[in-house]
Structure 1
């Protein structure tokens, strides 16, 4: 940007993109930089390499007649599921179909996993090349709300990953408050136009963007990965209920009180009879009381209170509210477990009114390990049709 904060083009507006042919089948142990030794590379070029050949060179090939087990091993969070299609968050932080496990362009009975660390792979390749170039490792992603696939960067070295226009103004003087361009994703998509899916061209050279090539390797692809707790669409709508899991092992990270209060608001959307809410929720802020009651970073105690309905009805309404609470906690990235506890002991520790009956204790915290995935259960054994 110039001194007025306006975007300035540092390129002549002309790009050249061409594929590199003749690389052939890549095998475990092959050196990608060596395979490119005859390529006419110039300082300032950007090399875009399909992740498949990096995975093959690094031996990320798995004998896997059961592709699903490989997907689950690479998954830290199932985001959405429809039939056999699983959208997963990988341990790299990517949200993508099948956790990036690919059964195409590989021997029958095998699958390809993503590179262990694509940024490190890009740095290694860049270091061995004869020219000062940028390196992007690309893979194919689907996109929410749009049909069709496009290539994006899953690893990078020596390329500016983002361009931040926030704080500047456009040509009409309007302030830019949310414009951050994913440069390496745009370059990866452009390069795919000459690589293609079936042409056997796994590498492309992008020439004309030397102003984006940096002397240092830089941060790689990490600045583009949105943390799950910042994701407004953390789960697919069909998968909200399936995302709830009983979690008993928590980290020491504190639990945000406002997050819990949002979950209480969700609990209040549960069914009622004539608007009656026959329950209250005690949030246990006191560390001493939590220590005496249950070893968890945060506690909530659902209590049944007097009402005009019979006890069985009130218990059912409380159960529905608690389920809403637990699901919303999962949506917020928190784990929870609802466990029974002697109501007299709990009431005494919390100094509750006599008319309040504690109905167990809900432990809340950040999961120490990703909750296990459970595919949707077959409902038939639990049904009786008349």
Structure 2
């Protein structure tokens, strides 16, 4: 049989990782057909993880055969992630009343292409229900619906999802795109929401005879239809796992607070490089930042205040120089997590600032941060990539 012409996972198929084997004739050379069912692949991968007696050292050994679908060469590709997950299960799994195995690991323990395909919907533990992704997509622009969903999900740092076979995944909120993010809403408000109507000449003022009532009604119907079509196209583009599905090949974490600044360039689960800076801008006794104190009080002329104002200028210049240094990487990045409370945000997202043009990929960090240094950034990194898996043995 010939490979399918339009596989869902072309990168894996081109490497010949996943095949469907036919062993009916022993003497016949084995024929293979590319498998493009990610849910089936996940079941096989999952079977390898849970089968603790399987020998992962064998070459091209087949595991977790399901209806003729077998993992052979692909095992070598995923062997280390399977070993890591087994290690997590061994050290942290606990058998609950539901007889499920639970472990805490990282989002990179599952192959990135699984996330968009295996997740059924958001699981609400308090109500013991699962809301399907398709339902959320259809109601994403309904303010009251999304408000109730936010309330059900809760104010925690993570969201719980259910896969099609009943596994439960807990993922940090910054790694999924279920709810609109702060800068996504800002970008929409900056532009004319109905600018797309001008692309169609038929609804323009020059096209309509205002003395013809029929023509006016026709124009109104066309405008409403275009608005409805535009709304549907936005719903169709809803991709809640676009970040995880990208594999996070290149992403950033930026912390800026109290005159301290730290940025880390990350590839996958590895921090490649980082830069930090610290300036004296905080009034020690009064506990107020000089830039904020000057807004509410008369201008001080002490040596300390002048030093803090000068350091504030140097601090902002250093931030711009650092972001300029990483400009190409930032522009091509999959995600930028930003912690910059108060006035700090203006250094990054303000008018003519470095991240202004790419703010759609910037997300406010959904974590409490005590200071902006590398030690704290590493803690943030460990928290946002955390993944809790509850395998449903049934």
TM-score normalised to structure 1 length: 0.24
Q: Greater helix percent: which structure?
A: 2
